[in-house]
Amino acid sequence: MNLYKTQLSSGSDDRWLVTFASLLTAVLAFFILLITMKSNESKSTFQVADNLTQEVYNKIINEKKDYGLSWLEIENTGTFGIRIVIPSFIDDRSMFRSNSDIITEKFLPYINSLSIIIKNLELDKLVHVNKKIIQNLKKQEKVLSLEVLIQGHTDALPVRDGKFKSNWDLSTARAYSFMNIFQEKTELPLTIFSIAGYGPFLPKRYLENYSENRRVEVFIKFQLESINNNYAAI
């Protein structure tokens, strides 16, 4: 009889272990779910630049079709942002005269068409659209910034006598001329612009048609930067 009571009592005392184990499992599952949610949220936050780049790229592609700008070459490069190529000749109209950094009057309508598309996107405002993401970035001491890089390119033919000593000088001056017009027409902040002259370096194609290498390229890039180094933030 005493043995039966002892066994019964022992069985009753073990029930709290089952309850405790269930509770512990539930708490553990809750924390795993919480960590997963935070991880997904953090991943989504740090993908904001890539997502925004793809969104803008899609809009530019659609606008290109609507405006019928078949001459415009657009590429989402990923790391370097959205690459927009403006050829030196469109419909037999030249962007620059030989050895000149002045954009010709006949070419301005093409730059105007591209500028209208970019202006309507309001790129400088996109970095502030999602307040929740911006707040999450600040917690990580990060900020979303925008950069517009204008690259000038030339062919491999040496420059003739003039004010430019080399194709490097000429390509940089052409990038600067394009930037002045593009910035004025898009009304984007001047602080987000930068220029680079590549001369004959990075040719578009190795062909006898040198004109394909005489071009201007525009790179639109969203990126995450440390708050202490966000010189390009809007």
Could you tell me the pTM of the whole model?
0.76
The pLDDT assigned to 40 comes to 46
The pLDDT assigned to 39 comes to 46
Share the mean pLDDT of the chain. 81
Mind listing the pLDDT tens digit for each residue in 81-120? 999 999 988 988 999 988 889 999 999 999 999 999 999 9
The pLDDT assigned to 64 comes to 95
**What one-letter code names the amino acid at 135?**
Q
Q: 90-104, 124-138, 148-162, 217-231 — which one is most confidently predicted on average?
A: 90-104
38 and 111 assigned to the same domain: no
For residues 81 and 214, the model is more confident at 81
Q: Is residue 122 part of a domain?
A: yes
32 and 109 assigned to the same domain: no
118 and 204 assigned to the same domain: yes
In contact, 144 and 49? CB cutoff 8 Å: yes
In contact, 221 and 82? CB cutoff 8 Å: yes
Mind listing the pLDDT tens digit for each residue in 3-41? 555 554 555 556 655 565 667 676 666 556 555 445 444
9 and 83 assigned to the same domain: no
Which structural domain range is residue 146 located in?
A: 47-229
d(CA 23, CA 27): 6
d(CA 49, CA 222): 5
In contact, 132 and 154? CB cutoff 8 Å: no
What strand order describes the sheet that includes 193-197?
Answer: 73-76, 82-87, 215-226, 142-153, 193-197
What is the residue whose two structure tokens read 């089952």?
A: 18
Whether the pLDDT of residue 220 is over 50: the answer is: yes
59 and 167 assigned to the same domain: yes
**Which residues have a Cβ under 8 Å from the Cβ of 83 and sit 6 or more positions away?**
73, 74, 75, 76, 77, 217, 218, 219
The pLDDT assigned to 121 comes to 93
For residues 36 and 169, the model is more confident at 169
